[in-house]
Amino acid sequence: MNRKIISLIVCLNLAVFSGISSGQDLLIKNGTVLTVTQGTILNGDVLILNGIIEKIGKDLKAPEGIKIVDAAGKYVMPGIIDSHTHIALSGTNETGDAITPEVNMRDVLHAESPSIYTALSGGVTMVHTMHGSGNPIGGENIVLKMKWGKTSEEMIVPQAYRTLKFALGENPKRASSFTIGTPRYPQSRMGVNAIIRREFLKAKNYMEQWDRYLKAKKSKKAAKNIVPPRKDLQMEQLADMIRGKMVARCHSYRADETLEFIKLSKEFGFKIACFEHVSEAFKITKELVEEGVGISIFLDSWAYKVEASEGIAYNAAYCTKKGVLVSINSDSGERIRRLFNDAAKSMKYGGLSADEALKLITINPAIQLGVEKIAGSLEVGKHGDVAIFNEHPLSAYTACQMTVVEGEIYFDRAQYLKEREEMEKKKKEEEKKKGEKK
């Protein structure tokens, strides 16, 4: 496949879609509708009005003038959600310091990144794009809709949780080697835990200073020249964590350090939404269930570094059966286009049903991100985020044919292939003309 041609097609599609307003009308007819939460509808229809699912059923009638997509012989499912990736960013790690909660992925969104189109080609409609794992305490992450051709602001999902990235183990301790001069602290696992505790203690003291100031200011005997504490952007973020305004997303692998982070959360009263990668989660399912903490993991990728050496392909299925909320992520701009393949592997490695496997890439990540009321399943009232496949999305032979975000068609494989064929033909004609001139 010629990369230059693909890039040109992507640019053309960007130009076409940039003029479309959000919240479109669309009727998808005659498909096998996999709602994920409310069963399967054979020869079913999905009616989307103003970007919201209006009706799901059979033989639906649409208002005149609405675009109709015939999905006969195809499978219609909710748009796939990737709960851990780093696409559409112009920066990932701030390695200049170990503690950087003040940085925000929102500030480095790259709306023209081709990775967005790649995600759409695999049926992905929403992603949680994150700070990297080079810092014990990293930056604030962001949840995006894959609205290819729109501005960064139009992609942001305001309903999602605010999440802050934490990282344990090898990555943050070895990141010190990337700095110039004296290696930064920490350089060990115990140092990673210690520095996170230190920063939360500072945040508690910071909150107490502000509480005393605000209380004194409200007092009738307050001095006129009372001075507020100095504002600290790092402490503001961690204070929001303690206040419950943000949730933690923590990169971890080993069971022991994962349990240590859970202890930290109890000590300071912050909420953990999810552990990332956590290849040893199967060892601590009881604790994860008791704390209501989900996991976002690879399906069958492990042993690529020492702390991942005890990972197993049965991790997702085993944890699901034990009651842990599990999602499958890509952590990649390439794997993101085949998350449905990874979900299908959970049926082989662990015996999950097709419905359970689909939940790993739809409703489960939606719950982890706090967007289950708008996405993750095909239900009336939710956003019209849909992926259409030529065969069952868990088949080894399937491919995403169309991806819809809030009623708008952002990826159409037939259109893409047609444009690619035309451009290849045009290129050959130009090369032929050049050859004739010589």
Neighbour count for residue 435 (Cβ, 10 Å): 8
Walking along the chain (438 residues) 10 residues at a time, the average pLDDT comes out as 46 43 86 98 98 97 92 98 97 92 97 97 98 97 98 97 97 72 83 96 97 87 83 98 98 97 97 98 98 97 92 97 98 96 97 98 98 98 98 98 98 94 89 76
Same domain, yes or no: 254 and 332:
yes
Closest CA to 370 of 327, 317, 335: 327
Boundary residue ending a domain (339, 374, 409): 374
85 & 59 share domain: no
Q: Are 353 and 389 in a shared domain?
A: no
Q: How far apart are CA 384 and CA 406, in angstroms?
A: 4
Is residue 135 within 8 A of residue 99, CB to CB? The reply is yes
Both 60 and 90 in one domain: the answer is: no
Q: Which structure tokens are listed for 287?
A: 């604790």
Query: What confidence score (pLDDT) does residue 3 get?
Result: 46
pLDDT for the residue numbered 437:
73
One domain, residues 100 and 233: yes
Dump pLDDT digits (tens) for 347-395. 999 999 999 999 999 999 999 999 999 999 999 999 999 999 999 999 9
The whole model's pTM is what?
0.92
Q: Given the DSSP bridges, would you call strands 40-49 and 26-34 parallel, antiparallel or unpaired?
A: antiparallel
At which of 321, 345, 374 does a domain end?
Answer: 374
Residue-number span of the structural domain to which 322 is assigned: 80-374
Same domain (yes/no): 329, 384 = no
Q: Are residues 387 and 367 in the same domain?
A: no
How many domains does the chain fold into? 2
Tokens 């639906």 locate to 60
C-alpha span between 357 and 349 (Å, rounded) = 11
- What pLDDT is stored for residue 348 in this prediction? 97
- The residue out of 349, 374, 399 marking a domain boundary is 374
User: Are both 278 and 142 inside the same structural domain?
Assistant: yes
**Claim to verify: residue 111 and residue 71 sit in the same structural domain:** no
CATH number at residue 382: 2.30.40.10
94 and 58 belong to one structural domain: no
- Looking at the structure, tell me whether residues 420 and 293 fall in a common domain: no
- Tell me, what CATH number does 163's domain have? 3.20.20.140
Same domain, 20 and 122: no
Residue 220's alpha-carbon distances to 213, 217, 224, 370, in angstroms, are 13, 8, 10, 42
The torsion angles phi and psi of 97, rounded to 5 degrees, stand at: -145, 155
Phi, psi of 156 (to 5 degrees): -65, 135
> For strand 326-328 and strand 386-389, is the pairing parallel, antiparallel, or unpaired?
unpaired
